[in-house]
Amino acid sequence: MLVAYSEIAQRYKQFCDEMPRDVPPFVFAQVWAAKVAEAVGLCDGKGRKFFREGGGPAMAPADKRRFKPSDFRFDMLAEAMIGREWKSIFRLGEQGDMFPGVSYYERVQEESAAPIGPSVWANVAAWTATTGGLMNAQFNLGYDTPDFELADLFPIREAIFYQGGERIIDILGPFSPAQETAPGAQYPDNSMSALWVEPGAVKKYAGKIEITKETLEIDISGGQILSKANDGGYTLRFRENELAIDAIVGTTNNFKLGMLADSAATTYNTYGPTITNPAGTSRTVTNDIVNPLSTPDAFMQSDMQISNLYHPVTDMPIVVDMPVCVLPTPLAKWAMWLQGVGEFSGLQQTLTSPMAVTQPAPGTFPNTMAKGQNPWQNYLRPIVSRWLDARHIASTTQADPNRSPGLGLSTTTLARMRWYRLNPAKFACRRQKWGPTSQAISASDYVMATQGIAAAFAWDMATMVQVLSPFHIQRNKGA
């Protein structure tokens, strides 16, 4: 429900009356903007923002938000806070400077009739900060879209740097069996410098929305402005989803394993060739199997492959559990059926061709029949992704530098039906991120007279998806 002009004007007047007169204009603006931010769920009653896991602003729970950002029309806000002459204040419709030699800032001055009046700079700054806060809230709502299934698949974890790499203990396991130590003997060196994973590169993604006086003239209600802010959050979420898919399908090859002074490296999508460990032992272990999800024993085939995993450096068996399966949309119904079936019936007959049996005698067909519990019911947690399917069939060349290339899989064969098993709890991959952070740009950060900017909003995020263990992701090829 749209907030009425009279309600905004009344609340703003009350705020101005209660505010001490000696408060600097920008502090005045920030305090008022915080009240609007609380109303839309951007912060609590004390001005403290909400944060999501891994940092970055979040919204209050839906039941705690009294208004939506779109409930505040920008023209109503401007008239209620700046006055009915707000268009003149922002110089809307002007062509050139009507007051040569007099700066815009100088023309927005305190009125003589009242300490705080419509043309006071504090009111303009308060409107600017409020508009930025509304864009901030709409940005967060765009970021919280449920459209991207894989963006939050991997845990967020802070990096711990150790001797040039990142120390990961619970994935790689011990370097060797525990050393035999006699009673009273010195305790063996338990240094974890033997194995480490080198972090991947962190990249930053950013953007800014500026509201110019021309924008205000055309988009008087602020609808398009908020729409662009929503798109900013949406595209940021899209980026995180793309980075997650990069790691799953093997586009991102940033797994590097170090051992003491030696360096042994492999990558997820090329892991499989014969690897010789420092002791001279060679073993070939692949994380790829041709395993279309078209028969109930597909999971068993996957389990058999997992049981053959050995560490490429230590040559030790690796105990791996992969409870999550990521599926492209063509396999969605198959996975739902397999998860929902509670009982299987097994039939067996020895005839060479069932088609030759026209009217089998009682007791001769089938020869045996057995019923039993479906061993794969609720065995894996399926995640079906439309974006994963799109990546499978997309071209292997990509002209847009901000998009990842596809795998170019055939749309008419089983090649498209590629699915994946992984264990996010074991940190098979990990998101490392700062943000998304966002801010309303203060009116003091730009010269509104020369640039014609009425308000602005900026956002940025630094993120990466680090492959921490190729042993906890398995790619099941359809063909």
The model's pLDDT over 8-36, given as tens digits with 9 standing for 90+, comes to 888 888 888 888 777 777 788 888 888 88
SS3 331: helix
pLDDT tens-digit map of 406-436: 999 998 888 889 999 988 877 677 776 665 5
Written as six digits, the tokens of 124 are 């303009």
Amino acid letter, 351 = L
Q: Using 50, 70 and 90 to split pLDDT, how confident is the model at 214?
A: confident
Q: Tokens standing for 319?
A: 């105990």
**Which of 59, 63, 68 lies closest to 2 in space, CA to CA?**
68
The answer to whether 9 touches 80, Cβ cutoff 8 Å, is: yes
CA dist 151 to 245, 383, 412, 463, 465, Å? 9, 12, 28, 12, 10
Q: Does position 82 have pLDDT exceeding 90, yes or no?
A: no
Q: How confident is the model at residue 101 (pLDDT cuts 50, 70, 90)?
A: very low
The helix (run of H) or strand (run of E) holding residue 368 is strand 368-373
Q: What pLDDT band is residue 100 in, cutting at 50, 70 and 90? A: very low
Measure the CA–CA gap between 193 and 175, rounded to whole angstroms: 10
Q: What is the mean pLDDT of residues 330-347?
A: 79
End-to-end alpha carbon distance in the chain? 54
Question: In this predicted model, which residue has the larger pLDDT, 380 or 262?
Answer: 380
The DSSP 8-state label assigned to residue 137 in this structure reads: H
Q: For residues 277 and 176, is the Cβ–Cβ distance under 8 A? A: no
Distance from C-alpha of 479 to C-alpha of 470, rounded to nearest angstrom: 21
Q: Strands (DSSP E) along 110-265, which ranges? A: 161-162, 165-166, 195-197, 203-212, 256-259, 262-265
- pLDDT tens per residue across span 353-364: 555 545 555 555
Q: What value does the mean pLDDT take over residues 377-383?
A: 87
Residues 6+ apart with CB under 8 A from 356: none
What 3-state class would DSSP assign to 369?
strand
Cβ neighbors of 297 (< 8 A, separation 6 or more) are: none
Q: Give the residue-averaged pLDDT of 317-322.
A: 79
pLDDT of residue 263: 47
256-259 and 203-212 strand pairing: unpaired
C-beta neighbour count of 308 within 10 angstroms? 14
Three-state SS at 106 = helix
Structure tokens at 198: 């080198």
- Given a contact cutoff of 8 angstroms between Cβ atoms, the answer to whether 366 and 350 are in contact is no
Residue 188: exposed, middle, or buried by beta-carbon count in 10 A (0-12, 13-18, 19+)?
exposed
d(CA 350, CA 26): 87
State residue 169's pLDDT score.
55
Q: What's the CA angle centered on 221, arms 215 and 224, to 5 degrees? A: 60
Whose structure tokens read 């019936």?
A: 345
Per-residue pLDDT tens digits for 158-191: 655 555 556 665 555 555 667 777 888 776 655 5
On the question of pLDDT at 451 being above 90, the answer is: no
What element of type H or E holds 245?
A: helix 223-249
Whether pLDDT at 99 is above 50: no
